[in-house]
């Protein structure tokens, strides 16, 4: 196995072990954070609400299984993959007897037949991967009328990029993940494997409220900033490039 992959596995295994030791098996995610407070994740699950029933869905790089649970609750038949065994332990405990099958699998080498999935969900895995290897595999296993739907950190804002570098120093992120945040060039790369690319932009300024979400007034601050940035992104579209997160839909895979 490549050294970069081994470092990613070790990183997420350590985070999972620490999380379990602190008794947080079923609270938030690894950052002890509730993603569904954010407009980006609300958008994701509103989008998926009517689309998962009786569909084969891949939770791509499932981590602690937070999204696997919700996908199953929406009626999907879920396959959830990750290379971190410790993370998969947490995910399995979270889901219990739900309609999810967890598999230890390399996201760049998918052991599924061609055109197997109706939907692929990426909850932030791309920065841990070599997209030149991952994207053709994703296109291969997606059905012609299916779609790849995901959320990723966007890499053009100097302030959020600085935060990412600090996260590397504090060991919250690996060096590979810090240096491979998705950018415009990666969206261009995706066009080689998917004929339709749709991108939505979030958290131009509302990311400033993230550290205060568990404090009094933190959620009010978040909602206020999200309203302001909604106006800014509408009035000044060039600012989209500097958003903290993007939500994307890739469809019409090239076979």
Cα–Cα distance measured from residue 198 to residue 47, given in angstroms and rounded to the nearest whole number = 13
pTM above 0.85, yes or no: yes
Number of structural domains found in the chain: 1
Question: CA dihedral defined by 187, 167, 18, 72, rounded to 10 degrees?
Answer: -20
The pLDDT of 105-123, averaged and rounded, is: 97
**Least confident interval from 10-19, 56-65, 152-161:** 10-19
Model confidence pLDDT, tens digit, residues 196-209: 999 999 999 999 99
Q: Which CA distances in Å does 200 have to 51, 62, 173?
A: 18, 22, 24
Model confidence pLDDT, tens digit, residues 29-87: 545 567 788 999 999 999 999 899 999 999 999 998 989 999 999 999 999 999 999 99
Q: Which CA distances in Å does 38 have to 34, 129, 225?
A: 8, 25, 11
Domain span at residue 8 reads: 3-23+31-218+226-253
Closest alpha carbon to 150 in 188, 124, 187, 119: 124
> What element of type H or E holds 190?
helix 184-190
Residue 20: what pLDDT?
78
Q: 49-76 as b/e, with b when 16 or more CB fall inside 10 Å?
A: eeebeebbbbbbbbbbbbbbbbbbebbb
- Domain of 126, CATH number, reads 3.40.50.150
DSSP code for 149: E
Centre a 10 Å sphere on the Cβ of residue 155 and count the other Cβ atoms it contains.
22
Cα–Cα distance measured from residue 184 to residue 181, given in angstroms and rounded to the nearest whole number = 10
């Amino acid at each position: 196995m490549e050294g970069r992959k081994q470092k990613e596995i070790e990183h997420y295994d350590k985070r999972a072990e620490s999380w379990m030791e602190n008794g947080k098996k079923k609270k938030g995610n690894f950052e002890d954070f509730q993603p569904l407070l954010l407009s980006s994740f609300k958008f994701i699950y509103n989008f998926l609400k009517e689309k998962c029933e009786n569909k084969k869905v891949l939770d791509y790089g499932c981590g602690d299984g937070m999204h696997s649970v919700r996908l199953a609750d929406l009626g999907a038949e879920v396959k959830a993959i990750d290379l971190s065994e410790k993370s998969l332990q947490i995910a399995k405990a979270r889901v219990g007897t739900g309609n999810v099958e967890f598999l230890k699998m390399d996201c760049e080498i998918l052991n599924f037949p061609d055109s197997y999935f109706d939907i692929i969900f990426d909850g932030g895995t791309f920065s841990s991967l070599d997209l030149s290897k991952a994207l053709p595999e994703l296109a291969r296993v997606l059905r012609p009328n299916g779609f790849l739907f995901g959320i990723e950190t966007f890499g053009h804002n100097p302030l959020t990029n600085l935060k990412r570098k600090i996260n590397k120093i504090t060991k919250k992120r690996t060096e590979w993940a810090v240096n491979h945040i998705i950018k415009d060039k990666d969206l261009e790369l995706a066009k080689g494997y998917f004929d339709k690319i749709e991108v939505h932009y979030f958290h131009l300024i509302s990311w400033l409220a993230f550290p205060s979400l568990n404090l009094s007034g933190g959620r009010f601050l978040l909602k206020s900033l999200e309203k302001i940035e909604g106006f800014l992104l509408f009035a000044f579209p060039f600012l989209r490039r500097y958003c903290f997160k993007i939500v994307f839909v890739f469809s019409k895979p090239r076979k």
